[in-house]
Structure 1
Amino acid sequence: MRSFRCQVCDSQLFFENSVCVSCGSALGFSRTERTLVPVDETGQYVDRAGLVWHVCRNLNLSGCTWLAPLEGGQCAACDLTRTRPADADLEGIAQFAEAEAAKRHLLVELDSRGFAVDGLVFDMLSSSGDGSNGVVIGHADGVITIDLAETDDARRERIRQDLGEPYRTMLGHLRHEVGHFVQLRLVTGGERLEQYRALFGDETADYQAAIDRHYAEGAPEGWAASYISTYATMHPFEDFAETFAHYLHIADTCETAAEQGLITVAPSGFGSFPDLVRGVWIPLSIALNQINRSMGKEDLYPFVIPEPVLDKLDFVARLAFADTTAMQ
């Protein structure tokens, strides 16, 4: 994620800031200007075009720092949440705030890469302690369902171990599920669909049968030569969604590393996404893994990227800015 500068005192700011810790100025995130801006004592900001923006009404509910077009209204990010916990559900609201922060992170990524989000909504639900009420993380026809209970580190880690996954985070869930939405929106026919099928396979294959086979038999032998994860082997839909998530993992981390001075080359200077992976991401991820090991922690990026996955990542990256629909 980018770092920002306070427009009042020029101190460094970060995406999550609602107040400048140096000068105390109240802040809001302007989606149109893609930066943090100071708001006055009434919670208003006037942009370069003379439009008046207001602090989102959900600032104290979910920690939302985005600006809304109407006084007392909510911002474009909050508008995308169709269902959330009731105000009286204190545990659910606490979980909701963490998930919403990850969602705002995701939306900035999508905006910066030209992926429109009109038609996308989120149901932020929470399963009971044993998950018996059946909240399933997933995507269906533009609706992304998130289990807020996975904001609990211990619960999420237990599920990760039970499923044999190397990585599981709330932001990772969101990136994966929005990958399904992007495929539904942008991979619809013609040459693009032919290229998709050549890389990922026939998406018309029976999905339920693929799920049953995956959980009964596991990943096929030799899967690591062609897939980014075992989950990606389940079905072409999941292969695309996993690849899309890793595209965002890599692109965002490389840009953050450049912003923080950890790499000296601009990610935008590479001619293709595979070149960025080879030239920056692979050596950077190795270094980050070693740093984590130095702290006694697991690898930050516990994945290997074979050549077929590079081709899939390139396909996904070339979808950026392919959607000409205006951002909502």
Structure 2
Amino acid sequence: MKRFSCARCGARVFFENVVCEACQAQLGFIPDELTMGAFDAGPAPNGAWVRLSAVAPHLHRRCAHHSPPLGCNWMVRADDVDPLCVSCRTTEVFPALDKPENGAHWSRIEAAKRRMTYGLLSLGLPVPNQKVDPLDGVAFHFLEQTNPQAKVLTGHDRGRITLNIAEADDAHREHVRTRLGEPYRTLLGHFRHEIGHYYWDRLIAHTPWQDRFRALFGDERADYREALQRHYAGPLTDWADAFISVYASSHPWEDWAECWAHYLHVWDGLETASAWGLRLDGAVPNLPPVHARAMPADAPDFKHRVVADWLPISQFSNAMSRSMGAHDAYPFVMADRVLEKLDFIHEAIAAGVRGELAMNFGRGALTAPQLALEQACS
């Protein structure tokens, strides 16, 4: 992620901040610009805030979820008919708030979703909600398991992503991670994995890229239920030769989603390291220092950049985690086959953003007048 500063005083601020600790300016993230704005919360038309910047082209107001328990710090253009920000408006079902812990869980979940959404927007990918694009939009259902006999499973189904809110509980998530023998399990990882399934439908399904996908990942028409049953009965022993994780070896769809999540990990990690000016002297013996570089969306040498930049940075990150007595931050090894899959995802995203790949969006999208009518009636 990029570094941010207060537009009033220049102090460093962070993605989650709602106020500048140095000058007390009100802060809000502006998704259209992928930047943090500083605002005067004084009176303005329609509850809008005046931005403390001479170049600001629009008035903004706070997302309707700015109050506890969520505390969303994203902004909405004052002329937008939707009261929610671009991230919050993709949430369709949220947990009952009669339990105090549910509010805390929901807050952590939405914070992770905002970070994921930032990554998608920074790549130039559309993130439509199902109100404006009922056929091809995305909707999140955050559910609590109240009946032991009716499990709430995290997963994706035709644009609807379900997450068990217990995943926001660190103790629960660590218990599941240990029981399943996973090296890594986080809320952000869940979101990046599940949104990968969504973008497979948007970028690959029924497009000319489907044949290349099958050559790399396998044929997704293989029975999904049977594939998972075989996986849980006894996963492949040589999975590391071609897959980023053991779960990726279960089915081509899961391989894609796991690789998609790791692509976002690498993308965000390189941008963060570059923004902080990270330089590693002696990262690779007998070679020049490694200067962290953000990955351009159209970088033609993706595989080389991963090997030259990301692998040393991830090794450094793991070393720092061990110094703090924590799990490795990036406990994964990328085989050549995995690098080819990540490179394919990089190509597909870039082609879609450039318009060279006809992405599957908007087939049932509402027009602006239709959306305004929907909002007025809801």
Q: Which category describes the TM-score, using the shorter chain as reference length?
A: over 0.9
Aligned twin of 1:278: 307
Distance apart, 1:131 and its partner CA: 5.6
**1:35-54, aligned counterparts within 5 Å?**
35-42=35-42, 44-45=49-50, 48=55, 50-54=57-61
Aligned twin of 2:324: 295
Please give the per-residue CA displacement for 1:148-206, whole angstroms capped at 9, x wherever unaligned.
Answer: 11111110000001111110000000000000001011102354111100000000000
Aligned twin of 1:69: 77
Q: Does 1:188 align with 2:205?
A: yes
Q: Give the one of 260, 265, 281 matched to 1:244.
A: 260
Distance 2:221 2:154 in 1: 22
Aligned twin of 1:106: 116
Distance apart, 1:45 and its partner CA: 3.7
Q: Does 1:94 align with 2:104?
A: yes
TM-score normalised to structure 2 length: 0.81
Number of aligned residues = 326
Aligned twin of 2:368: none
Distance 1:222 1:144 in 2: 31
Please give the per-residue CA displacement for 1:255-299, whole angstroms capped at 9, x wherever unaligned.
Answer: 101111214342336532211210111111111111212222221
Q: Counterpart of 1:110 in structure 2: which amino acid? A: L
Q: Give the one of 257, 262, 266 matched to 2:278.
A: 262
1:82 match: secondary structure: strand
Aligned twin of 1:18: 18
Distance 2:141 2:161 in 1: 6
Q: Counterpart of 2:256 in structure 1: which amino acid? A: F
Aligned twin of 2:64: 57
Distance 2:250 2:32 in 1: 39
CA RMSD of aligned residues (A): 2.1
2:163 match: secondary structure: strand
> Is the Cα contact below 8 Å between 2:277 and 2:292 reproduced in 1?
no
Structure 1 portions without partners, runs of 5+: none
> Is the Cα contact below 8 Å between 1:267 and 1:276 reproduced in 2?
no
> Is the Cα contact below 8 Å between 1:2 and 1:14 reproduced in 2?
no
Q: Counterpart of 1:292 in structure 2: which amino acid? A: S
TM-score normalised to structure 1 length: 0.93
Q: Give % identity.
A: 40
> Is the Cα contact below 8 Å between 2:270 and 2:292 reproduced in 1?
no
Distance apart, 1:70 and its partner CA: 4.6
1:320 match: secondary structure: helix
Larger radius of gyration: 2
Distance apart, 1:69 and its partner CA: 3.2
Distance 2:73 2:106 in 1: 15
Q: 1:14 to 1:49 in 2, by over 3 A?
A: closer
Distance apart, 1:116 and its partner CA: 1.3
**1:313-328, aligned counterparts within 5 Å?**
313-321=342-350, 322-323=352-353, 324=355
2:28 match: secondary structure: strand
